[in-house]
C-alpha cells in the first residue's frame, strides 16, 4: 500500500485537471471523486477523514454558487463515504473460536469493485480523448447552418415594421376610387400566388413588389393576410437588413 | 478485357480540373458535411473520382486558412483551429462552452456501448445520470434509438450525427481507441462487437 505522502502527491498531481468539487482538508486535498476511489482502493484511511467538515465546507460553498449536477454528485459521493465510514466505525462482532475463513462474498465484491473501477477508468480515459477532439473542433468553424427549424423567421423585422410597410401600401391603394370588386379575393389564392412569385424569384422579392400599384384595398388586405399566414406557417421568410430598410421576402427552402 | 462492340456514346472527356473546382464550390456552399453520394450526384462522376478530387483539394489547402475535414460521413470546408481567435472576433463569439466532465463521461459510455440504457450508464458511472442524459438529448448529441426488450422496456440511447460533427469524427469506428489494457473488449458492448470488431 502506498504511503500517505505518496498518495497525496498523486492527489496534487491529478488535481490540476479535475473539475469535480475539490476537498481542502489538512489530511486530504483534491477532488472528491478521487477521495472516493482512493478510499475504495484502501489507499486512504477513512477514519482520518472528517466527512462532516467536507459536508459543511461544501454547503458553505454551495450557498454562493450552486451547480445542481455537481451538488447531486457530491451528495451521492458523501453518502457513499458516510456509509463506508459507518461500517468502519461499528465494532465488528468478535468472531467466536477460530476466525472463520471469510466467505467468498467479500472477495467477489472486491473483485467486482476492481472491475467496475477499471471500467470507469477506461471511460475516463476515453472522455479525456474526446475532450481533446472537442477542443480541436471548437476552434474550427464552418458555414453556419441555415433554414434550421429553430431559426428566426422574421430576421430584424418587427411587427411594427411590417405594419408600417402595410400602411404605406394602403396609402397608395387609397388613391384608387373605391369600387367593389366583382370577384372575391381569397386568402388561399393569394397565398398560392405569393408562393408562385417567390418560386420564380429565388433571390427574394421586395415587400412592396407584392402589392401591385393597381391593387385594390381589398386585394392589399387579403394579400397581407396571406403573407402573415405564410410567415406563420414558416413557408416564407422576411428579412430586413436594418430598420426602415426594404423588407425582402424569400421562400423557405426545406 | 475486351470492350463490347456497341458502346454507348462516350461522354466528353472528363475535365478533372473543372470537376475539382466544382467540388470545391459544392463544399463552399454547403453548411453541412457533403457526402460522397451527393458529390457524385452533383458532379456527375464516380465515387472513386470524387475521393481523388477531394484528396487533391485537401492537398491544395495545405498551408491555407481553410481545410477540408472528413467528418460525419462527408466532407466539410472549414477553418483551421489556429485561426480561431480571428473568427471568434469577427463572429463576436465567446469561447465555446465545453461539455461538463459528467456530460463527457456519459457521452463516452453511450458512444462506446450504444445502444445502451440509463441503468447501464449509471452502473458504470456509479451516479444517477438522468439529468446528464437529458442535457445530452437537448443538445442533440444523443437520441433515443428504441427500447430494450427487458423488464420495463427501458429507453435505448445512441449517438447522433451531430455527435460525430461535434467531435470531428468520420463515423463511430473513428472513436478513439484506448492505449491501456484491452479497451475495445472492455468498452464495446457484445452487440456491437459482433458487427464491428475485426476479431
pLDDT in tens, A19-52: 568 888 877 788 888 888 888 877 788 888 888 8
The predicted model gives B27-41 an average pLDDT of 89
What is the rounded distance in angstroms from the CA atom of residue B117 to the CA atom of residue B123? 10
Is A101 domain-assigned?
A: no
* Beta strand pairing call for A248-251 and A205-206: antiparallel
DSSP, collapsed to helix, strand or coil, labels residue B101 as helix
Reply yes or no on whether the pLDDT at B2 is more than 70.
no
Lowest mean pLDDT among A90-104, A128-142, B119-133: A90-104
User: Could you say which of B32, B66, B91 is where a domain stops?
Assistant: B91
Report the 10 Å Cβ neighbour count for A232: 10
Query: Is residue B188 a contact partner of residue B112, using CB atoms and an 8 Å limit?
Result: yes
Torsion sign over Cα A73, A78, A83, A88: positive
- Of A20, A124, A133, nearest to B167 by CB-CB distance is A133
What is the rounded distance in angstroms from the CA atom of residue A164 to the CA atom of residue B155? 51
Lowest mean pLDDT among A98-107, A193-202, B119-128, B135-144: A98-107
Q: What is the pLDDT, as a whole number, of residue B157?
A: 92
Q: Flag if A140 and B69 touch (Cβ within 8 Å).
A: yes
Q: Mutate one of B126, B134, B175, B178 to test the A interface: name it (highest A CB count within 10 A).
A: B126
B92 touches chain A (CB under 8 A): no
Residue A224's CATH number: 1.10.10.580
Contact residues, chain A, for B163 at CB < 8 Å: none
- Asked whether residue B83 falls in the same domain as residue B133, the answer is no
Q: What is the pLDDT, as a whole number, of residue A28?
A: 76
Annotate chain B with three-state secondary structure. CCCCCCCCCCCCCCCHHHHHHHHHHHHHHCCCCEEHHHHHHHHCCCHHHHHHHHHHHHHHCCCCCEEEEEECCEEEEEECHHHHHHHHHHHCCCCCCCCCHHHHHHHHHHHHHCCECHHHHHHHHCCCCHHHHHHHHHCCCEEEEEECCCCCCCEEEEECHHHHHHHCCCCHHHCCCCCCCCHHHHHCCHHHHHHHCCC
Q: What percent of chain A has pLDDT over 90?
A: 0
Reply yes or no on whether the pLDDT at A5 is more than 70.
no
Reply yes or no on whether the pLDDT at B5 is more than 70.
no
Q: Flag if B81 and A119 touch (Cβ within 8 Å).
A: no
Q: Flag if B84 and A76 touch (Cβ within 8 Å).
A: no
Contact residues, chain B, for A129 at CB < 8 Å: 176, 178
| Residue whose C-alpha is closest to residue B77's, from B67, B62, B92 | B67
Least CA distance to B80: which residue of chain A?
A: A140
Range of the domain at B147: 101-196
Write out pLDDT tens, residues B51-107.
999 999 999 998 899 999 888 888 999 999 899 888 888 887 777 788 888 888 899
- Asked whether residue B78 falls in the same domain as residue B160, the answer is no
Q: Flag if B79 and A140 touch (Cβ within 8 Å).
A: yes
Residue B177's CATH number: 1.10.10.10
Reply yes or no on whether the pLDDT at B187 is more than 70.
no
Range of the domain at A37: 1-91
Write out pLDDT tens, residues A221-250.
888 889 898 988 888 888 887 777 788 888
Mean pLDDT, chain A, as a whole number? 75
Report the 10 Å Cβ neighbour count for B53: 21
Q: What is the pLDDT, as a whole number, of residue A161?
A: 78
Instruction: Answer whether 0.80 is exceeded by the pTM.
Output: no
Q: Flag if A76 and B28 touch (Cβ within 8 Å).
A: no
Domain count, chain A: 2
* Beta strand pairing call for A236-239 and A154-155: parallel
Q: What is the pLDDT, as a whole number, of residue B181?
A: 44
Contact residues, chain B, for A146 at CB < 8 Å: 31
Q: What is the length of chain B?
A: 199
A105-109, B83-87, B175-179 — which one is most confidently predicted on average?
Answer: B83-87
Domain count, chain B: 2
Torsion sign over Cα B91, B94, B95, B100: negative
**How many angstroms away from the CA of B68 is the closest CA of chain A?**
10
Q: How far is CA A57 from CA A38, A61, A69, A76, B153, in A?
A: 20, 6, 17, 16, 41
Mean pLDDT, chain B, as a whole number? 80
What is the rounded distance in angstroms from the CA atom of residue A170 to the CA atom of residue A209? 13
- Asked whether residue B78 falls in the same domain as residue B25, the answer is yes
Contact residues, chain A, for B78 at CB < 8 Å: 140-142
B128 touches chain A (CB under 8 A): yes
Backbone angles phi, psi at A171, to 5 degrees: -55, -45
- Asked whether residue B107 falls in the same domain as residue B81, the answer is no
Q: What is the pLDDT, as a whole number, of residue B75?
A: 92
Lowest mean pLDDT among A82-91, A141-150, B91-100: A141-150
B189 touches chain A (CB under 8 A): no
Is A129 domain-assigned?
A: no
Amino acid at each position: 500500500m502506498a504511503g500517505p505522502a505518496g498518495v497525496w502527491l498523486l492527489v496534487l498531481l491529478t488535481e490540476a485537471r479535475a473539475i469535480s468539487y475539490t476537498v481542502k482538508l489538512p489530511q486530504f486535498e483534491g477532488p472528491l471523486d478521487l477521495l472516493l476511489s482512493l478510499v475504495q482502493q484502501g489507499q486512504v484511511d477513512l477514519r482520518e477523514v472528517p466527512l462532516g467538515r467536507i459536508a459543511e465546507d461544501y454547503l458553505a460553498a454551495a450557498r454562493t454558487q450552486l451547480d445542481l449536477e455537481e451538488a447531486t454528485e457530491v451528495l451521492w459521493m458523501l453518502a457513499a463515504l458516510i456509509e463506508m465510514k459507518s461500517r468502519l466505525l461499528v465494532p465488528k462482532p468478535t468472531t467466536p473460536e477460530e476466525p472463520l475463513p471469510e466467505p467468498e462474498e467479500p472477495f467477489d465484491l472486491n473483485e467486482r469493485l476492481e472491475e467496475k473501477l477499471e471500467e470507469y477508468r477506461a471511460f475516463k480515459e476515453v472522455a479525456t480523448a474526446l475532450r481533446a477532439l472537442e477542443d480541436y473542433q471548437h476552434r474550427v468553424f464552418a458555414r453556419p447552418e441555415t433554414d434550421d427549424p429553430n431559426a428566426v423567421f422574421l430576421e430584424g423585422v418587427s411587427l411594427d415594421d411590417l405594419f408600417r410597410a402595410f400602411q404605406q401600401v394602403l396609402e397608395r391603394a387609397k388613391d384608387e376610387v373605391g369600387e367593389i370588386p366583382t370577384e372575391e379575393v381569397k386568402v388561399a389564392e393569394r397565398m398560392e400566388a405569393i408562393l408562385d412569385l417567390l418560386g420564380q424569384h429565388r433571390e427574394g422579392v421586395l415587400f412592396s413588389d407584392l402589392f401591385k400599384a393597381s391593387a385594390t384595398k381589398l386585394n392589399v388586405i387579403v394579400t397581407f393576410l396571406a403573407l402573415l399566414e405564410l410567415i406563420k406557417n414558416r413557408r416564407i421568410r422576411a428579412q430586413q437588413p436594418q430598420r426602415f430598410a426594404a423588407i425582402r421576402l424569400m421562400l423557405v427552402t426545406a | 478485357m475486351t470492350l463490347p462492340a456497341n458502346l454507348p456514346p462516350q461522354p466528353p472527356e472528363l475535365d478533372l480540373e473543372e470537376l475539382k473546382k466544382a467540388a470545391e464550390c459544392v463544399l463552399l456552399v454547403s453548411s453541412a458535411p457533403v457526402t460522397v453520394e451527393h458529390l457524385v450526384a452533383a458532379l456527375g462522376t464516380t465515387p472513386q473520382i470524387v475521393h481523388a478530387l477531394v484528396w487533391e483539394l485537401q492537398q491544395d489547402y495545405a498551408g491555407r486558412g481553410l481545410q477540408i475535414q472528413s467528418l460525419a460521413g462527408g466532407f466539410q470546408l472549414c477553418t483551421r483551429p489556429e485561426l480561431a481567435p480571428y473568427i471568434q472576433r469577427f463572429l463576436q463569439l465567446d469561447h465555446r462552452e465545453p461539455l461538463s466532465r459528467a456530460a463527457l463521461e456519459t457521452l463516452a459510455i453511450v458512444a462506446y456501448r450504444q445502444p445502451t440504457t440509463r441503468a447501464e450508464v449509471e452502473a458504470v458511472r456509479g451516479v444517477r445520470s438522468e439529468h446528464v442524459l437529458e442535457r445530452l438529448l437537448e443538445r442533440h448529441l444523443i437520441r433515443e434509438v428504441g427500447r430494450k426488450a427487458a423488464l420495463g422496456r427501458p429507453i435505448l440511447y445512441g449517438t447522433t450525427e451531430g455527435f460525430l460533427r461535434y467531435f470531428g469524427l468520420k463515423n463511430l469506428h473513428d472513436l478513439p481507441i484506448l492505449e491501456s489494457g484491452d479497451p475495445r473488449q472492455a468498452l464495446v458492448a457484445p452487440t456491437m462487437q459482433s458487427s464491428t470488431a475485426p476479431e
